[in-house]
Amino acid sequence: KNEVEQSPQNLTAQEGEFITINCSYSVGISALHWLQQHPGGGIVSLFMLSSGKKKHGRLIATINIQEKHSSLHITASHPRDSAVYICAVRPLTGNQFYFGTGTSLTVIP
């Protein structure tokens, strides 16, 4: 049983398209993270959310605590956005994060 589910698993988009990646989780959380993993393997933290919405450039992340759901949106997608996007949640108890399996995004020029 995976506490974090992401959809879709794979996503291919044309440059300029609006992209949505979804994350659902089953436990009460204190924080949710969206991470970006580049083809070389390194991971960068994009957002940390505990409520509402955050925006950074073309990236927008939202969370609905009651529905246990978060979305990551990319506006005006670009080939350099191609990466694996990972959702991670921190449960209310304990010191661990639980990770989704990731969404592999490919943006075609």
Partner 1 sequence: DGGITQSPKYLFRKEGQNVTLSCEQNLNHDAMYWYRQDPGQGLRLIYYSQIVNDFQKGDIAEGYSVSREKKESFPLTVTSAQKNPTAFYLCASSIDPGQGRVPQHFGDGTRLSIL
Q: Which residues bind partner 1 (CB under 8 A)?
A: 2, 4, 30-31, 33, 35, 40-45, 48, 50, 86, 88, 90, 92, 95-102
Pairing of strands 103-108, 10-14: parallel
CB of residue 62 vs partner 1: minimum separation in angstroms? 17
What are the structure tokens assigned to 42, written together?
Answer: 């390194």
**Of residues 42 and 109, the one with the C-beta less far from partner 1:** 42
Alpha-carbon radius of gyration of the chain: 13
Give, in order, the Cα–Cα distances in Å from 7 to each of 54, 61, 99.
20, 15, 13
CB of residue 17 vs partner 1: minimum separation in angstroms? 25
**Of residues 2 and 76, the one with the C-beta less far from partner 1:** 2
**Of residues 39 and 57, the one with the C-beta less far from partner 1:** 39
Taking the mean position of all CA atoms in its chain, how far away is CA 41?
16
Please state, in angstroms and rounded to a whole number, the distance separating the CA atoms of residues 52 and 106. Answer: 27
**Of residues 27 and 97, the one with the C-beta less far from partner 1:** 97
CB of residue 49 vs partner 1: minimum separation in angstroms? 10
